[in-house]
Amino acid sequence: MGKFQRLVLLICGIAVLGQSLWLWQSTGRRWFTQYYRADLDPANFEKTELDVTLEAAGLYDAAGPAEIVDFQFRLGLVPSGFGRQALSVASLGGIGLACFTMALWPARRNKPHP
């Protein structure tokens, strides 16, 4: 591998590793990858007739505020499963780290045969 090819591979490896760490930082620095779940989004809930009746009766007054559920996308350090949950800093940054390592690996020298 030539010097220019090694330099390009080194730059690409650093860029991929840096971008995966930046994305991890900007999405909340979680251990495991988490995807957006529409079923947990409070904006998607509709009040039923029973909810309106119970709220009017004052049954929800003592309940206090609802528990906050985190339902947004978070890139994790490690995968949380198979399929799309396999996306993580380890899987993305591992590719960049492999490119970085390949670029710094010493070249084989061809020994002249006698």
Query: Could you tell me the residue range of the domain that residue 33 belongs to?
Result: 3-62+74-104
Average pLDDT over residues 73-88: 86
Kindly report, residue by residue over 28-55, the tens digit of the pLDDT.
888 998 887 766 666 666 778 887 887 7
Identify whether 14 is part of a domain.
Answer: yes
End-to-end CA distance of the chain: 25
Residue 39 falls within a domain, yes or no?
A: yes
User: Does 112 map to a domain?
Assistant: no
Residue 113 burial (10 A CB sphere; 0-12, 13-18, 19+): exposed
pTM of structure? 0.65
Work out how many domains the chain is built from and give that number. 1
Rounded Cα distance, 32 and 66, in Å: 25
Pairwise CA distance, residues 76 & 34, whole Å: 7
The verdict on residue 111 lying in a domain is no
Name the residue with tokens 């947990």.
40
Torsion 7-100-79-28 (CA) sign = negative
* Tokens 């978070």 -> residue: 74
Q: What is the rounded average pLDDT of the residues 50-63?
A: 77
Q: Would residue 45 count as lying in a domain?
A: yes
At 114 the pLDDT is 65
| 11-25 residue pLDDT tens | 999 999 999 999 999
Closest of 104, 114, 82 to residue 1, by C-alpha: 104
Domain presence at residue 113: no
Q: Is residue 68 part of a domain?
A: no
Q: Identify whether 35 is part of a domain.
A: yes
